[in-house]
Chains A and B, each alone.
Chain A
Amino acid sequence: MHHDDELNPFVSAQSQFDRAAEGLGLDLSTRELLRFPLKECQFLIPLRRDDGTAKIFRGFRVLHNDARGPGKGGIRFHPQETIDTIRALAMRMTWKCALIDIPLGGSSGGIACDPHYLSSSEQERLCRGWVRQLARILGPKTDVPAPEIMTGSQHMLWMLDEYETIRGERVPDFITGKPVGMGGSLGRVEAAGFGLVFTLREALKELQMAADGTTASIQGFGNLGQHAALLFEQLGGRVVCVSCWDQRDGVSYAYRMESGINAKALIDITDPFGSINKDKAEKMGYEVLPGEAWLTQDVDILIPAALENQITKNNAEGIRPRVRLIAEGASGPTTSAADEIIRKRNILVIPDILANAGGVTCSYFEQVQGQMNYYWGKDEVLGKLDVQLTSAFHDVLELSKTKSIPMREAAFAIAVARVAQACKDRGWA
Chain B
Amino acid sequence: MGLTVPETSSIPVFDRQFFSGKERFTAIGRGELGGKAQGLARMLRLIDGSLAESFRPDIEVCVPTLTVITTEYFDLFMKQNNLYEVALSELRDEVIALTFQKADLPPQLVGDLRALISQVRTPLAVRSSSLLEDAMFEPFASVYATKMIPNNQADADSRFRKLVEAVKFIYASTFFKDAKNYIRATRHVTTDEKMAVIIQEVVGLRRGPRFYPDISGVARSHNFYPLGNAKPKEGVIDLALGLGKTIVDDGIAWSYSPAHPQANPPYNTLDDLLSRTQAEFWAISMEAPAVYNPIKETEYLKKFSLADAERDGVLRFLASTYRAQNDKIVYGISEAGPRVLDFAPILKFDLLPLNKLLRRLLTICEESLNRMVEIEFAMTLDERLGRPARFGFLQVRPMVVSESEIELRPCDLKGDDVLTASESALGNGFHEDVLDIIYVKPDKFNVHHSEAVALEIERLNRSLQELGRPYLLIGFGRWGTSDPQAGIPVNFGQISGAKVIVEVALPETSTMLSQGSHFFHNITSFRVFYFSLTPFDPYRVDWEWLARQPADRETEFVRHVRLISPLKIIVDGTTSRGVIRHG
Contact = CB atoms under 8 A, between A and B. Distances in A.
Contact of A235 (B16, B104, B108, B113): B108
Interface in A127-160: none
B157 A380 contact: yes
A279 B135 CA distance: 51
Interface in A373-388: 376-380, 382-387
A114 interface: no
A187 B107 CA distance: 9
B164 A382 contact: no
B30 interface: yes
Interface string A178-192: 000000000100100
Contacts of A385: 111
Interface string A184-216: 000100100010011001000000000010000
Contacts of B184: none
Contacts of A198: 111
Contacts of A382: 104, 107, 110-111
A226 to B, nearest CB: 14
B114 A387 contact: yes
23 contacts: A187-B107, A190-B107, A194-B107, A197-B108, A198-B111, A212-B30, A234-B108, A377-B161, A378-B104, A379-B164, A380-B157, A380-B161, A380-B164, A382-B111, A383-B111, A383-B113, A383-B160, A383-B164, A384-B114, A386-B112, A387-B111, A390-B16, A390-B111
A236 interface: yes
Interface string B107-140: 1101111110010000000000000000000000
A231 B113 CA distance: 17
Interface of A: 187, 190, 194, 197-198, 201, 212, 231, 234-236, 376-380, 382-387, 390
A378 B168 CA distance: 14
Contacts of B76: 234
A380 B164 CA distance: 9
Contacts of A379: 104-105, 110, 113, 160, 164
Given A234-B76, A382-B107, A387-B118, 13 more contacts: A231-B108, A234-B108, A376-B157, A379-B105, A379-B113, A380-B164, A383-B111, A383-B113, A383-B114, A386-B107, A386-B114, A390-B111, A390-B115
A58 B114 CA distance: 44
Interface string B503-547: 000000000000000000000000000000000000000000000
Interface string B63-83: 000000000000010000000
B111 A231 contact: no
A235 B164 CA distance: 21
Interchain residue pairs A-B with the least CB separation, the first 4: A386-B111, A383-B114, A383-B110, A378-B104
Size band of the interface chain B makes with A: 10 to 19
Interface in B91-117: 104-108, 110-115
Contacts of A383: 110-111, 113-114, 160, 164
A382 B160 CA distance: 12
Contacts of B112: 386
A392 B340 CA distance: 57
Nearest to A186: B104
Contacts of A234: 76, 106-108
A382 B157 CA distance: 12
Contacts of B160: 379-380, 383
A236 B16 CA distance: 20
A212 B13 CA distance: 14
Contacts of B106: 234
Contacts of B118: 387
Contacts of B107: 187, 190, 194, 231, 234, 382, 386
A383 B107 CA distance: 7
B108 A201 contact: yes
Contacts of A386: 107-108, 110-112, 114-115
* Residue in B105, B110, B113 whose Cβ sees the most chain A Cβ within 10 Å: B110
A49 to B, nearest CB: 42
A212 B30 CA distance: 9
A235 B73 CA distance: 11
B392 to A, nearest CB: 28
B151 to A, nearest CB: 15
Nearest to A394: B16
Nearest to B104: A378
A212 B9 CA distance: 13
A384 B112 CA distance: 10
B115 A387 contact: yes
Contacts of B161: 377, 380
B113 to A, nearest CB: 6
Interface string B464-496: 000000000000000000000000000000000
Interface in B135-194: 157, 160-161, 164
